[in-house]
Amino acid sequence: MTYELMDMHGTDDGEPSNAQERIPTEQAAPDSLLSSPMYSEMSVPVLAAQCLREIENSRRGEPCTETYAVELFRRATVQSSEEARIWVQFCFGDVVRGWLRRHPRGQEACRLESEEYYVAQAFERFWQATVSTQGLEFSGLAAALQYLCACLNGAILDRLRASAREQQLVYLLFHCGLVPWEIIHFYPREFSGVNEVYRLRCTIMERVLRSTDRLR
């Protein structure tokens, strides 16, 4: 059996393509994130240790299952276990970093924020979705990872869009010399209101000051 992950070599606009990379797992891998009596009594750290072993075996091309990873994800999503979420992020953080590095706009995004920022954002969106969307269930580990990959892609594109808006605001404020209310008057669709312009201006100034401090 195989499970599939989204191919992050996507299209020119940064959206992932429909191509997928296939990672082998053992034939007896679970079909869904359902509780198994055999594993439900195991502690989360023990599950995580076995999950890491599964991941390492998969990387080596050795026969492996996804049983422990499935149970760890089940506790993190279905049971909303904070401990399980911490361990899921620990076990699969490198997987998300790999997606980020292969993303067509990954290098561009990492000029704005660190890799850890995008990894944290991907998991945060993933957890929020499992809490806010009632009845959200994954058919198996592959489906959970595919959704996590989509969360990473969303975090990357949202940060890039925000950067483009900030660059536009810098131009309007410091090159054109417009004040916030004038910006809202001439560009009502780009910004929600004067308060947003003031907030973004403060963010821009804070980043300029941090950059200046680093240069010193």
Give me the number of domains the chain comprises: 2
Residue 166 lies in a domain: no
Same domain? For 140 and 189 the reply is no
Residue 201 lies in a domain: yes
In this predicted model, what pLDDT tens digit does every residue of 103-153 receive, in sequence order? 999 999 999 899 999 999 999 999 998 886 655 667 788 999 999 999 999
Residue 120 lies in a domain: yes
In this predicted model, what pLDDT tens digit does every residue of 52-88 receive, in sequence order? 999 999 888 888 888 899 999 989 998 889 999 999 9
Question: d(Cα 157, Cα 118) in Å, to the nearest integer?
Answer: 11
pTM exceeds cut of 0.85: no
Domain that holds residue 198: 178-215
Q: How many helices (H) and strands (E) does the chain have?
A: 9, 2
| Chain position carrying tokens 């560009």 | 187
Same domain? For 152 and 121 the reply is yes
Angle between helices 82-102 and 67-77 (to 10 degrees): 110
Instruction: Find the mean pLDDT for residues 169-175.
Output: 87
Question: d(Cα 179, Cα 176) in Å, to the nearest integer?
Answer: 9
- In sequence order, which residues have a C-beta less than 8 Å from that of residue 67 and are 6 or more positions away? 29, 30, 36, 39, 50, 54
Same domain? For 103 and 25 the reply is yes
Residue 172 lies in a domain: no
In this predicted model, what pLDDT tens digit does every residue of 17-65 receive, in sequence order? 333 333 333 333 444 555 556 677 789 999 999 999 999 998 888 888 8
Same domain? For 140 and 58 the reply is yes
Residue 165 lies in a domain: no
Residue 38 lies in a domain: yes
Same domain? For 141 and 200 the reply is no
Same domain? For 115 and 195 the reply is no
